[in-house]
Structure 1
């Protein structure tokens, strides 16, 4: 295939008769919200089972999933939450909107995941939660983080928005002893356009029940007299979205297997390009769901990196700039920020600053294409980087 000919990649989202049947099923049951229908309940059981969790609670989106999980873990005014500085802004804003302080820490330059040593150094008596983000579906170092959590009595909250179906040492997200959240936004590995879920491991039934109340305006399932027990909001997922997600879940494993095979090839091809360094792995993360195909061009600088992304898009690749360091956004400084300057945070997050300037990611749908498309993708990246 000519490197200048744009390869054809599968569309995203993907759907077939399973989604159509689910939507009709939800429509014809006569109840379109979770308190009267059966789709949300069924999806929650299926999703929990798929991830080895005792309970799953479906909610309106991934950001609300984070807010709800943080709230049931006791996060609020006067508390701090440690988050990776290299992540989508929701990881930070969910903390800040609860009145708590976000404490960004640096990430590993190889995996782009939160650095356990940086986490350990950031723990204070006010630390209420440590929030690893499984970047691009590669799980963070859950062994080291679990030890920090146990040593300090601070729970972990896994932001698994990228990590549907991922595993650490053979353990699924719900089997690692900590609450986790997922997103079903349009670009995610399974989607209903929007949506989210909180999964609760064994032993967290009480927090699950509290989360249910808070996601449904503080109202018990069987309430008929408006006896709202706690303060809450309406984060309930609707029946139509749940029906779509049930279909999406059924093809998740097969898609992960294809993406894993393609990334094995594509990462080798990208790594052979002068100046290109693909995201590294961790053999303990024995199943990576590959939400993104990420790579760095060290030393390129943010302006030229952005121009590189524009060239890749013009050449037919679904390319995007890497996340901006959360402390380098205006949103981060609006509320709930640590008592230190931007420069002070940046000084202790050198890897985040570098990755934010030189990282590029490609949409996971390219990894559902064939080997020929992987070679064409690498050729396009090579041409575009050479022209930089």
Structure 2
């Protein structure tokens, strides 16, 4: 075990809460109706979340995976369809499509931003492609200009996987202003959280209304005769979670401001360490909420990277190994996998292969620390590398 040459800084805890969350929970409790069809917290949160993201409409749901699944279903994804997804992402991006009976088609990523490669996505479009799912990795918004052109040229809609990107902006536009559906997560580690939860933002009323039906078992709001108009499931968020999320949304902007100030400090200090390459940034993403502080250790094997992450954790840093390539998990192959082998997909995804082996990330609470703590974190990274 590597010695504790330098103690880890006492970084801010996560989740964060205050009397705002407590008050919201009491408010939800005392209204006497604890589900969305009788209460007011979910409705209020949806309005506030949509406004914050510049979207026409928002629909709160049970979790981020369900948000993706619902968004895909609303756009007509189902058996016989294909959905293009980045090979480097959390596996919910692909499983949401696969659970609808569609085939998930992994494509490679940009080696600097870790976001979906537009050229790779374009090459994967077929007559069966029903959606393209860019993932805003760690808060870095994908190249939405090029993706919008690809979407228009191919006649295939985009679904933004924005699980990491609450409050992000692309050339001054919020994610809800980019003209496509976006799905968000409120899982415990996310930028705002109620333990679990999710949301889908929609650009127009028609898609929103279809989403509402399908997230409520196909049942209209005013139905009293069990006349279910579509298929669907129960993805309704409860009133208590919505009350907590309203408070979380209220402090999101300030937290993003802090992380935007701290990331250049940490990234600069990490870049000064030989062999460490921080995640790049496309400057057109002019507001990055920094869900993760990501960096690479080019040339590391997966085993050596894992040992490095374990050593950082042992020293008290909230460190994690980067996502495994989705096609290298057994769950990817259970249903809805493309007619390719692992080796065939890996051959066309060299950037994914590399970062899956040598990528590291620190939880975003790291970036809520002080400027001095950013230098302390980088020093621990340097010492750990030197001793590994």
**What TM bracket, shorter-length normalisation?**
over 0.9
Report deviation, 1:52: 0.2
The corresponding residue for 2:375 is: 375
Report deviation, 1:269: 0.2
Per the alignment, in what secondary structure is the counterpart of residue 218 of structure 2?
coil
The corresponding residue for 2:152 is: 150
Q: Which shows bigger deviation, 148-157 or 223-232?
A: 223-232
The corresponding residue for 2:97 is: 95
TM-score for both structures, normalised by structure 2: 0.99
Q: Deviations over 1:157-194 (max 9, x none)?
A: 00000000000000000000000000000000000000
The corresponding residue for 1:347 is: 347
Report deviation, 1:155: 0.3
Report deviation, 1:5: 1.1
Q: Deviations over 1:215-234 (max 9, x none)?
A: 00111000111111111110
Pick one of 133, 137, 150 that aligns with 2:135. 133
Report deviation, 1:372: 1.3
Pick one of 32, 35, 55 that aligns with 2:34. 32
The corresponding residue for 1:48 is: 50
Which residues of 2 match residues 251-330 of structure 1 at below 5 A?
Answer: 251-330=251-330
Unpaired stretches in structure 1, ≥5 consecutive residues? none
Report deviation, 1:154: 0.3
The corresponding residue for 2:71 is: 69
The corresponding residue for 1:357 is: 357
- Mapped contact 1:3–1:376 kept (Cα < 8 A): no
The corresponding residue for 1:209 is: 209
The corresponding residue for 2:246 is: 246
The corresponding residue for 1:220 is: 220
The corresponding residue for 2:180 is: 178
The corresponding residue for 2:25 is: 23
Report deviation, 1:3: 5.9
Work out the CA distance in 2 between the residues paired with 1:146 and 1:384: 42
TM-score for both structures, normalised by structure 1: 0.99
Cα distance 1:3–1:134, how it changes in 2: closer, same or farther (>3 A)? farther
The corresponding residue for 1:109 is: 111
Report deviation, 1:274: 0.4
1:198 maps to 2:200 = yes
- Mapped contact 1:3–1:379 kept (Cα < 8 A): no
Report deviation, 1:205: 1.2
Per the alignment, in what secondary structure is the counterpart of residue 385 of structure 2?
helix
- Mapped contact 1:130–1:157 kept (Cα < 8 A): yes
Report deviation, 1:207: 1.2
The corresponding residue for 2:337 is: 337
Pick one of 161, 164, 174 that aligns with 2:163. 161
Report deviation, 1:85: 0.2
Work out the CA distance in 2 between the residues paired with 1:289 and 1:157: 19
Unpaired stretches in structure 2, ≥5 consecutive residues? none
Work out the CA distance in 1 between the residues paired with 2:158 and 2:57: 17
Per the alignment, in what secondary structure is the counterpart of residue 158 of structure 1?
strand
Work out the CA distance in 2 between the residues paired with 1:217 and 1:96: 20
Per the alignment, in what secondary structure is the counterpart of residue 251 of structure 1?
helix
Pick one of 120, 126, 144 that aligns with 2:122. 120
Work out the CA distance in 2 between the residues paired with 1:347 and 1:6: 39
Q: Deviations over 1:74-126 (max 9, x none)?
A: 00010100000000000000000000000000001100000000011110000
Report deviation, 1:209: 0.4
Work out the CA distance in 2 between the residues paired with 1:84 and 1:104: 5
Work out the CA distance in 2 between the residues paired with 1:147 and 1:3: 52
- Mapped contact 1:83–1:103 kept (Cα < 8 A): yes
